[in-house]
A and B are shown apart, each in its own frame.
Chain A
Amino acid sequence: MRMVIRTICMCVAASAVLLGASYEGYAGHERKKVRKVVRSSASCSAGASASVARFKIEKGEALPAAIPKPLTRKPGDAKRGLEATVNPGKGNCLACHHIAKVLAKVEAGDKKSVAAYGNHGEVGPPLNGVGGRYSKAELRMIVVNPQKAFPDTNTVMPAYHVRARNKDVSRACRGRVMLSAQSIEDIVTFLEELK
């Protein structure tokens, strides 16, 4: 009995994680379908990574903390950054932030493009012009660990490149960071271009 309940819970957990935050994605699930999803996903989420880059935190200009040096040797790619920003299993930045540049990608009447680029959250500040407000080193700090970048705000934004030592982390995500070092660089490059 306990096993059955555990399996169902894990199914729900895995499907929601896999399909990200969109209710549409989670909608209309059938138990059979969900089981299939679980079998094909041993991982935490599309963006999660087991390896963590080393980085040095220094003082920023506008913020008390910044990471001046890139986390990877390979430079970030803005196009991949946009995709990671949008992907519910990766950055899912859209869940909380409005980004006009992403909204511009919506093709009217096309349901798929609306689902991917159309629904912007209101929990965090809009990211339009964020590349002008912060340096690249500060943007990197914000995405890696916003609580270090904004120490007094008790922000709800997750830390994307800190190995989770939080309470009750799901089994699949234990010891993993939300985004790989490369995805961080991609997103930071995308954000830097929002001027």
Chain B
Amino acid sequence: MRRLLTGLLLTAVLLPVQALGAGNGRTSAVNPATGGHSLKELWSGYHYSSPEIRNLQDSDSDNPAMKLYDKGEAAWKKAEGRANKSCSSCHGDAAKSMKGTAARFPAYFKLSKKPLTLESRINLCRVKFMQARPLPSESDSMLALAIYVKRQSKGMAVSVSGDGPLKPFLRKGKNYFTDRRGQLNISCAGCHDKYAGQRYRAVKINQGHANGFPVYRQSLKKTGSLLRQVNQCLARVRATPLKAGSDQLTNLELYLSWRASGLEVETPAVRE
């Protein structure tokens, strides 16, 4: 009898937790999908944004980054390079072939012997199969294509296990996140793991998730990649910036995606 009662009590306690796990990270918390997590519950940057910013993200017609989506759609179909191929020549309809891609990137590639970010993967395709020039980081053409591809996974849960060959890279990314650096000697974790929800001067600190990039920043009036955001943080602690396409950035993005697993892909997100 007592065992039954304890069981019932346990279910009663666990049920709301499970309900939390079904959240979207914007209006309800998400339980970390992966073990050994530094956060108890996951909240998207959306949760820490003002109502105006949320409205901008919620409406496709108002979201300024959606202009790039249209550009990306055109780029997807445009043949380029010496091979005279487009993305669609091989991948067909992005709505089918790219569905879920953003949720599982950065992914490990045997040929490269390391994980690649989606942006690096796009450039690999361009150079190798289209025989076209790689798109420069932060250029409108790269942001447009990244937004178009990632958008196909909108609403799907980020799911990066970091197992198998990814393990050593995940560890490096975690170390980058937790090591103190810069003249201010502060780690990413020092703010985003510990003080999310609290103000740093006029800004509300968020959990630093990578589920909405490329992101339109209202204060900058421009869409940008994860690299732009990371380098802005690094500038604040007066540390050396990361380079586009560098292994350090890829490993960090891998760790961030592992850390954000369970949150929904929100590309293109809008933030302060």
Contact = CB atoms under 8 A, between A and B. Distances in A.
> Are chains A and B native binding partners rather than an unrelated pairing?
yes
A26 B232 contact: yes
Interface residues of B, number: 39
A9 interface: yes
Contact of B180 (A10, A44, A167): A167
A176 B221 contact: no
Contacts, number: 129
B239 interface: yes
A45 interface: yes
A124 to B, nearest CB: 10
Interface string A1-43: 1100110111011111100011110111100000000000000
A176 B182 CA distance: 11
Nearest to A176: B183
Nearest to B202: A119
A95 B238 contact: no
Contacts of B194: 156
A170 B238 contact: yes
Interface centre among A92, A121, A171 (most CB of B within 10 A): A121
Contacts of A94: 201
B269 to A, nearest CB: 16
B219 A26 contact: yes
Contacts of A119: 199, 201-202
12 contacts: A6-B243, A9-B242, A12-B231, A26-B219, A28-B221, A120-B201, A121-B199, A169-B240, A170-B182, A170-B183, A173-B182, A178-B183
Interface of A: 1-2, 5-6, 8-10, 12-17, 21-24, 26-29, 44-45, 48, 88, 92, 94-96, 119-123, 156, 158-159, 164, 166-173, 176, 178
